[in-house]
Structure 1
């Protein structure tokens, strides 16, 4: 049997499993309680009803960053329970699953969503577990390189809370699409445990998010979402594990709690090691910011505003060939693409990194040149000045000590909080973009 025929047979078997699961579900679904699935399509009662229900807004997201090493068979026969944290609440929910880096179709025969009974806990809050469907069926086949949005389910989702999103794959699917620096523990169980609210069957812990790319809610709490594209400084690699202490988490708190703030969800599309433009001395982590901007930012649900926090890795990974002009042109290209969608862009200045192993004096000069253009209003619509907020006033090429995690590049929890506090929240309101 040729490899091509083998893959075709596996895909066919996966399809049969999904169809059989559908029949089983339709026959025995009564055991899971009341049907909580709702149509994601137009309301038959007209636009007034839809407006009363709210609008779909992204409450959580993570960028697919690559194919997880040593997962050539995927997670056949196992359940993944991803733990994610909401930025805004709503009355219904739906998820997006990604097989972006898969090499074969990904079969999902069952999936569920629930509220966690406690932070970072794999046990569901009583009566909160909901069976997810895809086009009315309990399972789906996601092609290699593709993604799929579930049907919506009724679930009262709180803001600032942990959700449990569980998926079961019955057959091998090739490498798992994952986000490696979650700063959150998720869980793995043997067999199909998607409908099990208890966490004791989830005997394996995982520092990754797998397959899950987004969670949306139907809400009247927020008018839309702000989407942040960034690298490890946005991914929050040195923030406290499980504490939701990334600067984007603190920004979500501010948008939810401060008087007069625009009510927006916050979607963190940071990838550790990510570069703005492709190429360089070392292999970049994930697709470049320019190449993934449409998928990871502009296509997110309810996006109203964009924040760009990229450029440091382009300097550190290209010390001999780094070019301020190329980076500024790429930043302006992101702004142009956002403007074409009527979106306002806030750009961040590049923070200092003297003391880090990649520091070179000429790279710091390039950083200062880029920051001068950003501050001058010649790149983005508005500026969040992370450099000025976190640098040492007596040594401006270094992070101030309380804000330094110790590696002289990534902030401490206090530094991440300071980054979020540096925002003028009015800059995140949706408005006509400025001409640059």
Structure 2
């Protein structure tokens, strides 16, 4: 009988661990802030300061990155007094065991060296390790750390064993680093000799803030991903938006969460299993609605539905998908600012017929039939007299992705009052 009772205790303890530490998918992120001895006792709230969307399984990583330390470099939008992270194993068919994880401020932008006195060892449900089942995510316990606005963080993980395909975000526009062996809490960056243009495993960073009013989550494609912005400079249009929210008088004190995936569509997933590049409709709950402290949503999607094969040539189908996203946000009491589809004249996939589909979608967006508010990115990137047009808005060669100045113009086109907008009851 005693042996049977002991077995029950072990099973219950394991279930609690998986529910709280190993799988973040079905829990309220605000409740997680109460866990762990490091949770702040004073007034405040958890809010997302940085995030990215898990896009696919990294090619040629069927055995994972065993025996390697992965040091991701990410840039905050808003600061706080404590922090926690989210790790994801969405695209692997095998459990991912992280035996060592840490968080620190970078000593210099895009640098793998930690600032003195900022290295923190991370735990998961008070354990120094976590096993994340396939298709799931895990959130760390909070650690006390003064996180500034607009600062680079170092999030490092180590896994000792083969774990299956690596869940990653390929177009980071930021250099991260790898080192052989467990160098997770190295403050010096000397061991991190291998550079990487990817973010691996890491999909979110939250901070505890007394000043933040919430976060705005941006669902988008490569234009939101910022794949032609200057690497390491944080010049995506969402970075320029975060700058406005920090500096403009009267602006809402929001974190900015970039949920862009290059090539993303409203309606269609990628072709692999599990689907790489999941559609806006299929990932909306995971990447937007479940993010910490989200108060408003911006949607910039639809161009790839038209441009990518098979071409979606029915504008009403694209509008239908955008409306479904808006309805899902409304069900959570969130308001939605929707972007017009940007121009692609000169792109290799351009045809007058496809551009006519884009214009028809934009006509319905501008008429107020899709979103609560509209930001006219199409106009922002066409305006020839913009004072910000110091060089062409498009300089990537394919006339689809903006230059840094184009991204800045997009951020300035957003009316910040729309982020506060109407109440959930009015919606």
Shorter-chain TM-score range = 0.7 to 0.9
* SS across alignment from 1:96: strand
Contact 1:81 1:165 in 2 (8 A): yes
Contact 1:185 1:242 in 2 (8 A): yes
* SS across alignment from 1:242: coil
Question: Given the two structures, how large is their TM-score scaled by the length of structure 1?
Answer: 0.86
- The number of aligned residues is 391
| Structure 2 equivalent of residue 428 of structure 1 | 419
* SS across alignment from 2:392: helix
Question: Residues 263 and 174 of structure 1: is their aligned pair in 2 closer, same or farther, counting only changes over 3 Å?
Answer: same
Contact 1:59 1:266 in 2 (8 A): yes
Question: Residues 56 and 334 of structure 1: is their aligned pair in 2 closer, same or farther, counting only changes over 3 Å?
Answer: same
Judge which range, 317-326 or 257-266, deviates more. 317-326
CA deviation digits over 1:308-328, x for unaligned, max 9?
Answer: 000000000146542100000
User: Residues of 2 paired with 1:55 and 1:138: CA distance?
Assistant: 25
Aligned runs of 1:274-353 on 2, under 5 Å? 274-278=264-268, 286-318=277-309, 320-353=311-344
Contact 1:183 1:242 in 2 (8 A): yes
User: Residues of 2 paired with 1:362 and 1:279: CA distance?
Assistant: 24
In the alignment, does 2:356 pair up with 1:365?
yes
| Structure 2 equivalent of residue 261 of structure 1 | 251
| Structure 1 equivalent of residue 115 of structure 2 | 125
Contact 1:62 1:214 in 2 (8 A): yes
Aligned runs of 1:25-36 on 2, under 5 Å? none
Judge which range, 55-64 or 274-283, deviates more. 274-283
Contact 1:346 1:383 in 2 (8 A): yes
> Which of 96, 102, 122 matches 1:106?
96
* SS across alignment from 2:418: helix
CA deviation digits over 1:30-78, x for unaligned, max 9?
Answer: xxxxxxxxx832799xxxx85x431000000000000000011111011
User: Residues of 1 paired with 2:245 and 2:321: CA distance?
Assistant: 29
Judge which range, 399-408 or 127-136, deviates more. 399-408
* SS across alignment from 2:234: coil
Structure 1: give runs of 5+ residues left out of the alignment: 1-14, 16-38
| Structure 2 equivalent of residue 10 of structure 1 | none
* SS across alignment from 1:53: coil
Aligned runs of 1:9-408 on 2, under 5 Å? 40-41=33-34, 52-278=42-268, 286-318=277-309, 320-391=311-382, 402-405=392-395, 406-408=397-399
User: Residues of 2 paired with 1:79 and 1:274: CA distance?
Assistant: 30
User: Residues of 2 paired with 1:338 and 1:207: CA distance?
Assistant: 32
User: Residues of 2 paired with 1:42 and 1:293: CA distance?
Assistant: 27
User: Residues of 1 paired with 2:36 and 2:344: CA distance?
Assistant: 53
Note the aligned Cα RMSD (angstroms). Answer: 2.4
User: Residues of 1 paired with 2:311 and 2:141: CA distance?
Assistant: 49
Contact 2:36 2:141 in 1 (8 A): no
